[in-house]
Amino acid sequence: MSSPIRKKLLATAGAALAFTVALTGCSTAAPAAPADEEVSIEFYYPDQVGTLGTLIDGYLKEFAAEHPKIKVKGVYSGDYDQTLTAVNTAIDGGKAPALAIMDQTFVLDLVERKAISSWDDYLKDDESKKWLDGFYPQFMKNSIDGDGHVWGVPFARSTIVQYWNKDFFTKAGLDPEHGPATRSELLDSARATQEKGGAKYGLFIPTSTGTAYWLYQALVQQAGGDGAISNADGTKVTLDTPENVKALEFWASLGAEGIAPSTEVAWSTSTDDFLAGQTAMLWTTSGRMGTIQDKASFDWGVSALPKDVAAGAPTGGGSLMLFQEGVSDKQREAAVTLAKFLTTPERAADVSVKSGYIATSDAAWNDPAMVAHVKKFPQAIAAHDAVADAIPEMATVDRDRVVYQTLAPALQSVLLNGADAKEALSKAQAEITKILAEHK
Amino acid sequence: MTDAPAVVPPRSRWAWNPFRLARRLPDAGFAYFLLLPAFIFLALFTVKPLIGSLISSTQKRNGDGFTLGNYERLATDEVFLRALGNNLLFSLITVPVSLGLAMLLAVLLHQNVRGRGFLRAGVFAPAILPMVAVAVIWMYFYQPNIGVINSILGAIGLPTPDWLGDPSLVLPSLMVMMIWKEAGFFMLFYLAGLQGIDPELEEASRLEGTGKFRHFWKVSFPLLMPTTLFAAIVALSDSIKMVDFVFVMTQGGPDNASNLLLFYIYKVAFAQHWPQFAAAISLVVVAVLVALALIQIKLMDRKIHYR
């Protein structure tokens, strides 16, 4: 190669190198050392419904004004599953966020991996005890383990409720002000709305992979079984009882009899289908109430799910959790301060009014803003009523494999492919027992 | 460093200067010197992770000890086998169909037809769209009640299936979308290939009275073989690595009917937090891909007319 070309190449490379060095120099010089008494923490928050992110941004601004010494870096982290991924990556990188809102069912896996700290150390004084005792016990069940350690504090909570289209009820000659209260009323209403009311379908119970187990829990509870499905330590599941089989057979019968589609009822689009008048009734999260209120072009009602042998539905939603990896005691204390700030009754009421999540304590329901909201919008009380019979959400160790990879396909094979309910559940029971045995 | 290096520095003081040394290297050595940055990045971002995966794949879930259990598990892991089967079917159908369609479109649009530029742009458009955008668009095409496809089918009185909600229809539905996206992309390569063929050959065929189809089959098709080999390898790796649409459209469901390998690897590595098993699956997938590419090259090499 000729010398002039080499010279040019080398000069370019040298310039590039010099430029890189200059850039690196700038970036390392930038961050200023924080003052001694200041503490800075990271806080990851997901948003499943589209309204929570803005709310939390606002709360963080208020917090900054009230606690100038605590610098909070709020990180929006997608939905619950993406938040878990983000936190896992941060833990592997040696620097977890001090505080994060996580799906309540992630507790067991995170405890097993020693990723989160218990709240026990921060709940010793009376004020803190009062704070924690204020939450509805139904919302604490997924956060307290068999030994009484507290791992999560409820933030955005929900449960399953039924919505109905009053237009279809009126046309079918049913009472539009009251939804079905029992299983037989449920089936009669569904058929009547289809035959006389002109509804294409009577009842949607979403069958998507991500939420099938959740709706199935409600059906098992109503059939008289143990709707929690898993034990408190998440080391054992019960899927092969007659009540479990009965619940799944009932669910499959909806598709077979044309009350619901025999193909997948997608979780994400089922609310749109209800709003478009495709179905007279819909079972879904109370968190969708805000969307339905905004978009429905017809009158609609909402109430707790109808009972069969028993009544009840699982809770769902997020908890505030304290992480360990790379977090100092001082940072953890700051995180606890932030958590208490985010869960005061006034803010719980504000979250509920603006997003549709269920206010987490009696104090929040009695908050003036909440009382005014219920007066203006009486349907909101349905979520409160549903909490009375709420059961814990199914949670096990190795949850993704147990719930999404094993249970969901088993349910779908019966609902969509016509497999035998008893066989599918026994097979899932055996597979899950095997997975859980790896964790003993 | 900011003053330009190696222009004419004094000999004695700058004898260690790598830029000066480089100027005195023999040509081959200088070439390697220039490749050095590329090698560093290749080692850092490809070789090191590969070795890391290899080591990780032989560890237990808690990260210690040596085990081949992760590989043994592959043979009995139902979801892996399902994803493997789905992916093989997906690749075996989308790759040849995309390439065939791409070649057909290229031959048609190589001719002097009216609005050729517009048509070419139209066919190529899907290839420029990001996969996630394509997935969102097609999700609305396939929506069972208000979707475009079912609206048309319903209007002419045909059944309106739930394309993504029916376990037997979901994979074919995704294949159609993949072919739509890929065909336009590979058409571009075939157009370039066709333009590289000497027009005298077509002239000769015309003078000899050879039919158009015969000319394509005996002249263009063999001369396009190098393009086909290249496109086939790219299409195969695309069919395994492009899984964005699974995240957007189906999450692998219903009943794992649309679970593909890379989606499953993501699930195992991140949602289940089991990087060791995910590494084992990844290495098997890489091995299969390399093997398939080698077979493709061997098989097709014999039939290729390089000029």
Q: Report angle CA A308, A310, A314 to the nearest 5 degrees.
A: 105
Q: Could A269 and B19 be called an inter-chain contact, meaning their C-beta atoms sit closer than 8 Å?
A: no
Q: What percent of chain B has pLDDT over 70?
A: 93
Residue A191 and residue A307 in one domain: yes
CB of B17 within 8 Å of a chain A CB? The answer is: no
A15 found inside a domain: no
B137 found inside a domain: no
- Which of A318-332, B136-150, B176-190 bottoms out in mean pLDDT, i.e. has the lowest? B136-150
User: Could you report the per-residue pLDDT of B253-271, keeping only the tens digit for each?
Assistant: 788 899 999 999 999 998 8
Residue B14 and residue B121 in one domain: no
CA A191, CA A210: separation in Å to the nearest integer?
28
- B81/chain A closest Cα distance in angstroms: 13
Q: Could B272 and A14 be called an inter-chain contact, meaning their C-beta atoms sit closer than 8 Å?
A: no
Task: Nearest chain A residue to B163 by CA: give it.
Answer: A263
Residue A294 and residue A186 in one domain: yes
User: Could you report the per-residue pLDDT of A28-45, keeping only the tens digit for each?
Assistant: 444 444 456 789 999 999
- A400/chain B closest Cα distance in angstroms: 6
Q: Could B255 and A413 be called an inter-chain contact, meaning their C-beta atoms sit closer than 8 Å?
A: yes
Task: Nearest chain A residue to B267 by CA: give it.
Answer: A400
A393 vs B162: which has the higher pLDDT: A393
Residue A153 and residue A133 in one domain: yes
- B253/chain A closest Cα distance in angstroms: 6
A111 found inside a domain: yes
Q: Are A194 and A257 in contact (CB under 8 A)?
A: no
B32 found inside a domain: yes
Q: Could A412 and B273 be called an inter-chain contact, meaning their C-beta atoms sit closer than 8 Å?
A: no
- Quickly count: other Cβ atoms within 10 Å of residue A233's Cβ: 15
Q: Are B232 and B119 in contact (CB under 8 A)?
A: no
Q: B-chain residues within 8 Å CB-CB of A405? A: 79, 267, 272
CB of B147 within 8 Å of a chain A CB? The answer is: no
- Quickly count: other Cβ atoms within 10 Å of residue A399's Cβ: 23
Nearest to B30 among A6, A15, A408 (CB): A6
What is residue B180's predicted lDDT score, i.e. its pLDDT? 93
A88 found inside a domain: yes
User: Could you report the per-residue pLDDT of B234-243, keeping only the tens digit for each?
Assistant: 999 899 988 8
Stated pTM of the model: 0.83
Q: Could A273 and B1 be called an inter-chain contact, meaning their C-beta atoms sit closer than 8 Å?
A: no
Q: B-chain residues within 8 Å CB-CB of A278? A: 145
| Residue pLDDT tens, chain A, 440 long | 556 677 777 677 667 666 666 655 554 444 444 456 789 999 999 988 778 889 999 999 999 999 999 999 999 998 898 899 899 989 988 999 999 999 999 999 999 889 999 999 888 889 888 999 999 999 999 998 888 899 999 998 999 999 999 999 999 999 999 999 999 999 999 999 999 999 999 999 999 888 999 999 999 999 999 999 999 889 999 999 999 999 999 999 999 999 999 888 988 889 989 999 999 999 999 988 888 988 999 999 999 999 999 999 999 999 999 999 999 999 999 999 999 999 999 999 999 988 889 999 999 999 999 999 999 988 889 888 899 889 999 999 999 999 999 999 999 999 998 999 999 999 999 999 999 998 87
Residue B86 and residue B34 in one domain: no
Q: B-chain residues within 8 Å CB-CB of A398? A: 272
Q: Could A264 and B165 be called an inter-chain contact, meaning their C-beta atoms sit closer than 8 Å?
A: yes
Residue A141 and residue A152 in one domain: yes
- Which of A271-280, B2-11, B102-111, B125-134 bottoms out in mean pLDDT, i.e. has the lowest? B2-11
Residue B179 and residue B225 in one domain: yes
CB of B5 within 8 Å of a chain A CB? The answer is: yes
Domain count within chain B: 2
B166 found inside a domain: no
How far are the Cα atoms of A267, B141, B243 from residue B173, in angstroms, in the given order?
Answer: 20, 10, 14
Q: Could B166 and A416 be called an inter-chain contact, meaning their C-beta atoms sit closer than 8 Å?
A: yes
Q: Could B19 and A13 be called an inter-chain contact, meaning their C-beta atoms sit closer than 8 Å?
A: yes
Locate B121 and state its tokens.
């742009």
Residue B221 and residue B95 in one domain: yes
Judge whether residue B2 has pLDDT over 60: no
Residue A93 and residue A236 in one domain: no
- B272/chain A closest Cα distance in angstroms: 6
Q: A-chain residues within 8 Å CB-CB of B255? A: 409, 412-413, 416-417
Residue A302 phi/psi, 5° resolution?
-145, 140
What range defines the domain where residue B262 resides? 78-130+172-301
Task: Nearest chain A residue to B162 by CA: give it.
Answer: A263
Selected for mutation to probe chain A from B160, B265, B268, B273 (highest A CB count within 10 Å) is: B273
User: Could you report the per-residue pLDDT of B8-21, keeping only the tens digit for each?
Assistant: 555 555 556 767 77
Domain count within chain A: 2
Residue B14 and residue B120 in one domain: no
Q: How many residues does chain A have?
A: 440
Residue A264 and residue A279 in one domain: yes
Q: Could A278 and B164 be called an inter-chain contact, meaning their C-beta atoms sit closer than 8 Å?
A: no
Q: A-chain residues within 8 Å CB-CB of B135? A: none
CA A119, CA A337: separation in Å to the nearest integer?
12
What is the mean predicted confidence (pLDDT) over B55-82? 88
Q: Could B251 and A18 be called an inter-chain contact, meaning their C-beta atoms sit closer than 8 Å?
A: no
How far are the Cα atoms of A203, A400, A404 from residue B167, in angstroms, in the given order?
Answer: 21, 21, 16
- Quickly count: other Cβ atoms within 10 Å of residue B188's Cβ: 17
| Buried-state track A51-84, b at ≥16 Cβ within 10 A, e below 16 | bbeebbeebbeebeeeeeebebebeebeebbebb
ipTM: 0.77
B122 found inside a domain: yes
Residue A95 and residue A149 in one domain: yes
Residue A185 and residue A311 in one domain: yes
CATH number at residue A185: 3.40.190.10
- A269/chain B closest Cα distance in angstroms: 9
What is residue A28's predicted lDDT score, i.e. its pLDDT? 47
What is residue A320's predicted lDDT score, i.e. its pLDDT? 96
Residue B88 and residue B44 in one domain: no
Q: B-chain residues within 8 Å CB-CB of A26? A: none
CB of B72 within 8 Å of a chain A CB? The answer is: no
Task: Nearest chain B residue to A81 by CA: give it.
Answer: B271
Residue B245 and residue B278 in one domain: yes
A7 found inside a domain: no
Task: Nearest chain A residue to B31 by CA: give it.
Answer: A1
Residue A120's Cβ-count burial label (10 Å; 0-12, 13-18, 19+) is: exposed
CA B47, CA B54: separation in Å to the nearest integer?
11
Residue B23 and residue B103 in one domain: no
What range defines the domain where residue A201 resides? 158-315+392-437
B205 found inside a domain: yes
B303 vs A278: which has the higher pLDDT: A278
Tracing tokens 């369609």 back to the chain, one arrives at B101
Q: A-chain residues within 8 Å CB-CB of B267? A: 400, 404-405
Locate A117 and state its tokens.
């700290």
Residue B234 and residue B195 in one domain: yes
